[in-house]
Structure 1
Amino acid sequence: MTLLPHRVLRALDRFHADRPWDHNAHFHRWILRQLPGRVGSALDVGCGSGDLARLLAHRAERVHGVDADPAITARARELTPKAAPVTYTVADAPGGLPDGPYDVITCVAALHHLPFAESLRAFRDRLAPGGTLVIVGVARERTPADHLLGVASIPLNIGMALLKNRGRPAPRPVAMTARTSPADMTFPEIVREARAVLPGARPRRRLFWRYTLVWHRR
């Protein structure tokens, strides 16, 4: 998006501030399509308010969500039905992650807050044989491909904002977490380090300023 004039960027920021939509939740259904129909256990790292954890509960016998923010973890507990097989822990990743093993590990828009290679090793070591790791992440835009995808995402982003808000301005959402540091790794750096830790990993650039990574443990 850095290819656009600052005046255009400011106008887009104002538009989306009035018509917010959740770019991360947009990938939740895609995440579910990467998983088997039923699994025993799932771990959601950086679970936030638990939206993905609750979706995973339709596939997994038990789901555990981990987040470093006590307030957002408390909110996740409030939003989760008591009968759902979902538990939450306040902990810093990767050191505070439960031991596992897990059949599924997910991490959405949280990895850029964490030590990258160390976190991937922690995910790998907690994944059961035959298990699936799915990451949706944020990278620093640097290459021409990054910028082209960013520009292509702009009209789609506007369309999604209008569709999800029915064309009308919406109240600004309450910030759920203060952990909003920008990504510092580029996508080529992510690919190189991920494949060193997770041979056979499949990283892909995506629209809406995200990348995905899927890895199956043999």
Structure 2
Amino acid sequence: MTSLLPRLLTALDRFNTAHPWDHNAHFHPWILRQLPRRFGSALDVGSGSGDLVRLLAARAATVHGIDPDPAIIARARELTAASNTAGVTFTVADAPTGIPGGSYDVITCVAVLHHLPLADALAAFRDHLAPGGTLVVVGLARQQTPVDHLLAAVSAPLNAAVGWRKNRDRTTPAPRPVAMTAVTRPADTGFPAIAHEAHRILPGARLRRRLFWRYTLVWRNRPHGHGDVRM
């Protein structure tokens, strides 16, 4: 049994590699459900090829995407022009210091926060969020606790099932998801520490561990907000 488990995990990893799917895009519908039907301005931090930006543009008057990778920003502009999506701009910029000035009714950040200085980034999001605005983060955390490892164990076979379903009708190899930023690295901060810092900087923030190696954070910029950490 002890020698069988590593072989099974290796086989599962090979299957997942052969049947890739975009884990971040999986959360886009959930992100939209956290937002008003219409809002004025939005900022997507680490916008990559602009998929979420174009979704936000269906509800917002203006959407701005920032990413430090010039090549991916150029691709985002091409895709946005081809889709005739109005009210969208992209800038090559590093967060949190390169966030354009002004305030936004919505700020989103997907699979990027672990690349940034946590406290500085959360404080910048808070300072750039308009009164009544909504911040939505989908992030990655280091696996530390028994709950983390349990969710990872459940996610592994589910990841294979979703990958098979999304790829079963393909006749050519599935493309790898486009990288969100120029430099990638694994998350090195655990969920408890992230939650502690979020509650310090964003009183009332709601955080929750999720399947597929993600957690979510939602914060609404309103006085005397209340929230909790959902395990």
TM-score when normalising by structure 1: 0.94
Partner of 2:58: 58
Q: Counterpart amino acid of 1:171?
A: A
Structure-2 change in CA distance of 1:145 and 1:25 (3 Å): same
SS of 2:26's equivalent in the other structure is helix
Q: Counterpart amino acid of 1:133?
A: L
Q: Which moved more, 1:60-69 or 1:163-172?
A: 163-172
| Counterpart mapping for 1:112-191 below 5 A | 112-166=114-168, 170-173=173-176, 176=179, 177-191=181-195
Kept in 2, the 8 Å contact 1:18–1:172? The answer is no
Kept in 1, the 8 Å contact 2:57–2:85? The answer is no
> 1:14, CA displacement in angstroms?
1.4
> Does 2:27 match 1:23?
no
TM-score when normalising by structure 2: 0.89
Deviating above 4 A after TM superposition, structure 1's stretches of 4 or more consecutive aligned residues are: none
Partner of 2:204: 200
For 1:84 and 1:185, locate their aligned partners in 2 and report how far apart those are by CA, in whole Å: 37
SS of 1:20's equivalent in the other structure is coil
> 1:183, CA displacement in angstroms?
0.2
Structure-2 change in CA distance of 1:122 and 1:45 (3 Å): same
Deviations 1:191-216 (CA, angstroms, capped at 9, x unpaired): 00110000000010000000000000
Runs of 5+ unmatched residues, structure 1:
none
For 1:36 and 1:174, locate their aligned partners in 2 and report how far apart those are by CA, in whole Å: 28
Instruction: Indicate the percent of aligned positions where both proteins have the same amino acid.
Output: 67
RMSD: 1.6
Structure-2 change in CA distance of 1:146 and 1:78 (3 Å): same
SS of 2:27's equivalent in the other structure is helix
Aligned length: 215
